[in-house]
Chain A
Amino acid sequence: MLKKESFDFELTRAPIDEKGLRAMCADPASGGYVSFEGWVRNHSEGQQVTRLEYEAYDALALKEGRKILREALEKFGVAQIVCRHFVGPLNIGEMAVFVGVSSGHRGEAFAACRYVIDEVKHRVPIWKKEFYLNGDSGWVRCERCAEGHDHSH
């Protein structure tokens, strides 16, 4: 069990243990628990995907991930937040990311969980390479940059 008002963000190269992470959020003062799991799906932008690989810039990913969790604690006043992001190869249906939040009431738990996954996807230096059924592969959001897409960084 994490201590009162705490957060835990780690990268993992082993399968995410969502049961263990949920147990870390146990808190007698919390009436609500909300979790999010990101799964590998078999399609992306009209293409059939067979598998993925995640790569991370560990030091900054950990810093930025922990910063996001601290922000969520402050903004939403929840009790405990855990987040794990997998790094390495994954098959369809496997778990890429987990977020768990416990709090006194459900409103802030939902909001904090949403905030964390949205910010993690937007800010943490982790990259995803997709492998397609037709044999092609590509780094998500990176392959068409040279064609002049509009980005907000």
Chain B
Amino acid sequence: MIKVHFFAILREQAGRDHWQGPLLEKANPKSLYDSLAREFGFSLTSKDLQVAVNDEFVDWNFSLQEGDEVVFIPPVAGG
């Protein structure tokens, strides 16, 4: 299983703060986001986002492993 945490606009659009699902073959953050975006109707595309796995920024083609925790990061606006 892999777990995805949702924040901010993604959390609101998904209607939940996390999602869990099976790790599909050759899954990467891009394929995962594209399928979740379809499922939840996200307005942002992966071009608009950054992604972190296990609390580290990674590339969109990062090889996901069993047990990974993924966060899709909308445009940040701190400060």
Contacts and interface: CB of A to CB of B under 8 A. Distances in A.
A117 B78 CA distance: 9
Given A139-B9, A142-B75, A146-B45, 7 more contacts: A55-B7, A128-B77, A128-B78, A139-B8, A139-B77, A140-B77, A142-B74
A127 interface: yes
Interface of A: 38, 54-57, 59-61, 63, 85, 96-97, 117, 120-129, 139-143, 145-146, 151, 153
Interface in B32-79: 43-45, 47-50, 52, 55-57, 71, 73-79
A116 to B, nearest CB: 10
A9 to B, nearest CB: 12
B55 A141 contact: no
A153 B75 contact: yes
Contacts of A140: 75, 77
Contacts of A125: 7, 50, 52, 71, 73, 76, 78
Interface of B: 5, 7-9, 11-12, 43-45, 47-50, 52, 55-57, 71, 73-79
A123 B5 CA distance: 19
27 contacts: A38-B79, A54-B78, A57-B73, A60-B71, A60-B73, A63-B56, A85-B79, A96-B78, A120-B78, A121-B78, A121-B79, A124-B79, A126-B78, A128-B78, A129-B8, A139-B8, A139-B12, A139-B74, A140-B75, A142-B44, A142-B74, A145-B43, A145-B48, A145-B75, A146-B43, A146-B44, A151-B48
Contacts of B47: 151
Contacts of A123: 76
